[in-house]
Amino acid sequence: MTQETAFIGRQPILNRQQQIIGYELLFRLSGDAVSAEFSSDIQAGTNVLVNTLSNMGADWLVGGKLAFVNVAESMLESNFLELLQPQRVVLEIVETTKPSPELLERLKDLRAQGFSIALDDFVLTPQSAEFLEFANYIKLDIQQVGLSQIPAISRELRKFPVLQVAEKVETKDEFKQCLDIGFDCFQGFYFAHPETLSAKVINPSYANILNLLNMLRNNAEIRDIENALKRDVALSFKLLRYINSAGFGLSCEIQSFRHAVTILGYQKLYRWLTLLLVTAGAETGTAPALLKTAVTRGRLVELLGGHFLDGHEKDNLFIVGMFSLLDVLLDMPMDKILETLILPEPVCDALLERTGMYGPYLELAEACEDPDMTEVPRLCEQLLVTPEILNRAHVQALAWVEELGV
């Protein structure tokens, strides 16, 4: 593997309403790299960073989302940063960076160009305080500092006009404590790797969606599907609103459910219902970051496996990725959920055991959500997925989800 290739990961950063404001992009210069630090020879690293961000295009960051990118001193001093879109990028200065008159002048210039500056793993010292004049965000590692020490540090930092980001938020209780302390933004495994919660009964709206999914899987008669849609006012309204959207370019409005099903076809209707099943959680208080993770994971699994599988085998990839978070979204164990769905055995194997033809692709998509990405090189090698394929699929998945407006 050459230095011109790189793996990319991402982790969402959320505001106090648990809405995603941006993503920290996590780069590795090679498949066996274990950290995001760039070597003294920054040529390869900067090429990777700029090329990757450039290839994403503007669509990837629609809706005001920001890309938080780690930069060491050598990167800050290079002229590669000028190739990025400053309004879309937050430069995260790594904690090993030392202030100097030249570097502080460089930060002043980058701010003037429109870049935002974040101070990563910040610890307040007389030396690090020199960076505060140029910072927009300060990130505090609550695990490293300790929650008992955080309130005093947070109060001290409020003297400066910066947004405070709590890093390494791993539990609901830690999130609540950080909210009470007054943090502006949050990042951590609590949002990226939610726990499986205790079981509860699926509510009627979920039950209707699951029923329709089973009907489509069994190729039910179109009149039976039409009758099922008519029984759920909210579901039928959403379907008609969706299919009448400009995206379909229809010259006439849909007048009946039969017409809608005919226009969409069973496969697209199934896809739409799976999206609805996941995004319906937004109405029951599910964190938007979790919903977006599920949809993104579905698309990423589909794109990764799509290079190697065909036909019906390929069609199931999206379902595998999307449904892999149903246990969290529905507060039910996965095996209980699968009892209510009629799914092919390889799909169930992937969802329950991460095995079979789909399991490794799901594992790889999940590994991309881990900031350390320790399993990514092994899984890529196992699946013959090159860094280029992985990066392209990841970028396309992110862009697709942004276009959906999830």
The domain spanning residue 233 has which CATH number? 1.10.3210.10
Q: Does residue 145 fall inside a structural domain?
A: yes
How far apart, in whole angstroms, are the C-alpha atoms of residue 187 and residue 293? 14
Residues near 365 by beta carbon (within 8 Å), at least 6 away in sequence: 297, 300, 301, 304, 321
The CATH number of residue 47's host domain is 3.20.20.450
Beta bridge partners of 89: 67
Indicate if 223 and 301 belong to the same structural domain.
yes
Q: Is residue 199 part of a domain?
A: no
Residue 2 lies in a domain: no
Q: In the listed set 161, 192, 223, which residue is the last one of a domain according to the structure?
A: 192
| CA separation, residue 164 to residues 56, 161, 171, 216, 375 (Å) | 27, 10, 18, 48, 31
Same domain, 234 and 151: no
Instruction: Report the alpha-carbon distance of residue 81 to residue 91 in Å, rounded.
Output: 9
What token pair was written down for 189?
A: 């495994």
Give a yes or no: residue 1 inside a domain.
no
Rounded CA gap, 58 and 281, in Å?
A: 28
Instruction: Looking at the structure, tell me whether residues 256 and 326 fall in a common domain.
Output: yes
Pairing of strands 20-28, 116-119: unpaired
388 and 312 in a common domain: yes
- What residues are paired with 116 via a beta bridge? 90
Q: Is 292 found in the same domain as 176?
A: no
Residues 281 and 301 in one domain: yes
Q: Which residues span the domain enclosing 251?
A: 204-404
Do 244 and 114 lie in a common domain? no
Kind and range of the H or E run holding 321: helix 311-323
Q: Is the same domain home to 329 and 371? A: yes
Residue 231 lies in a domain: yes
pLDDT at 249: 54
CA R_g for the chain:
23
Looking at the structure, do residues 237 and 338 belong to the same domain, yes or no?
yes
Same domain, 327 and 353: yes
CA gap 70, 38 in Å, rounded: 9
Residue 93 Cα distances to 29, 98, 102, 218, angstroms? 18, 10, 15, 54
CA distance 360 to 315: 16
Q: What are phi and psi of 2, to 5 degrees?
A: -90, 165
Side chain identity, residue 158: R
Angle between helices 233-243 and 222-230 (to 10 degrees): 110
Residue 197 lies in a domain: no
Q: How far apart are CA 334 and CA 359, in angstroms?
A: 15
Q: Tell me what pLDDT residue 325 has.
A: 86
| Domain end marker among 192, 225, 244 | 192
Return the structure tokens found at 314: 């390929």
Q: Are 72 and 96 in contact (CB under 8 A)?
A: yes
- Dihedral over Cα of 204, 208, 214, 220: its sign: positive
Domain-located, residue 226 = yes
> Which of 15, 31, 14, 72 lies closest to 377, judged by CA?
31
Q: Are residues 118 and 63 in the same domain?
A: yes
Q: How many structural domains are present in the chain?
A: 2
pLDDT in tens, the chain (406 residues): 333 456 777 788 999 988 888 888 776 544 444 444 434 445 444 555 655 555 554 445 445 688 888 888 878 887 767 767 788 889 999 888 899 999 999 999 999 999 999 999 999 899 999 999 999 999 999 999 999 999 999 999 999 999 999 999 988 899 999 999 999 999 988 876 544 444 444 444 677 788 888 899 888 999 888 878 777 666 766 776 677 554 555 555 555 677 778 888 888 888 888 777 766 654 555 566 777 788 889 889 999 998 888 776 776 888 899 889 888 877 778 888 887 666 789 999 999 999 999 999 999 999 988 888 889 999 999 999 998 899 889 888 888 877 766 5
- pTM of the complete model: 0.65
The domain boundary residue, chosen from 192, 227, 249: 192
Residue 299 placed within a domain:
yes
84 and 53 housed in the same domain: yes
Distance of CA 200 to the CA centre of its chain: 26
